[in-house]
Amino acid sequence: MRDPPPSNDARGRYPGECVLSVTSLLVAAEEGGDGFHGPSLADFFPPAIFGEGTFYEFNRIMMVRVIAAGVLVLILVLVAKRATIVPTKGQSIVEVIFDFIRNQVVYPVLGQVKGRKYEAMLIMLFMSIFAFNITGVVPGLNIASTALIAMPLLLAVTVWIVYIHAGVQKHGVVKYTKYSLFPAGVPIALKPIIAIIDLLQVLLIRPASLTIRLMINMVAGHLLLVLCFAATDYFWVQANDGFNYAYGALTFAGGIFMTLLEIFVALLQAFIFTMLSAVYINMALAEEH
């Protein structure tokens, strides 16, 4: 006795054929059909502008990084050249940033004596990260330079080199290793476990946490921004009828809110990265951990 044939759906197709049909429609829409197209991780991997597949490949995110770095250097050079006793508006803004990082991060964490040595590095770290973050809301750029792992990783490795060098320079290799891996007051039986944990923390966990925290926040911000404004475009341009205008107004308001939030996050992440960097340097310089 043979099994009965599979049942047809309402249009005379088998279930498997329906799945294939729906899949084909989705693929066709994705390839250029009408409809809403939300953000995806593909936004962070744009095609090469030139040098595709070579060591010198240059894409839009790299271009945004070059623009952000160039603008930051240009601003600082112009302010330095035109510095006066009575500061101009631009000079006042730069001085406020310098004073904020100096008085809220460097001196409270490192103290004035140790802080003077690392003050310039930490101030430039804050300003660079903010410049690379804020490109996510700049019209025409529209993506944070720190949304790909290479830039946050480079910054984190720089901080790692600085605090390792600071600890070795202050204590020497042997003493710094002892202070880092074998904190005072730990029972002998637990010292091997604590040493392994501290070794991972010094060599891996600290730079990894700096890298991932910065990158993930900028990725999430970009996706939410694009989602809001892509929905606005869909409701107002492609599906412009009935209540869709109202839905578009809501998503546009959400996009404005997310833009303001992204500016705040750009500042906050630059501050957190700089603060943690100062803390790690201070821990490397401390006599006991």
Quick: pLDDT tens for 62-116. Answer: 999 999 999 999 999 999 998 888 888 889 999 999 999 999 999 999 999 999 9
Q: How big is the CA angle at 221 (ends 104 and 223), to the nearest 5 degrees?
A: 170
Quickly tell me which residue has 């044939």 as its tokens: 5
Q: How far apart are CA 283 and CA 87, in angstroms?
A: 36
* β-pair partners for 58: 50
- Domain ranges, ordered by start, for the chain: 60-285
Residue whose tokens read 């792992």 = 149
CA atoms of 135 and 262, how far apart (whole Å): 10
pLDDT of the residue at 15: 39
The packing angle between helices 206-233 and 150-171, to 10°, is 160
pLDDT tens digits, one per residue of 230-288: 999 888 888 767 678 888 899 999 999 999 999 999 999 999 999 999 999 999 998 76
Evaluate if residue 190 carries a pLDDT over 70: yes
Residue 20 pLDDT grade (very low, low, confident, very high; cuts 50, 70, 90): very low
Q: What integer is the mean pLDDT of 134-151?
A: 93
pTM across the whole model: 0.83
Least Cα distance to 145 among 162, 160, 129 occurs for: 129
Structure confidence by residue, pLDDT tens digits, 111-128: 999 999 999 999 999 999
8 A C-beta contact, residue 181 and residue 288: no
- Express as a percent the part of the chain with pLDDT over 90: 63
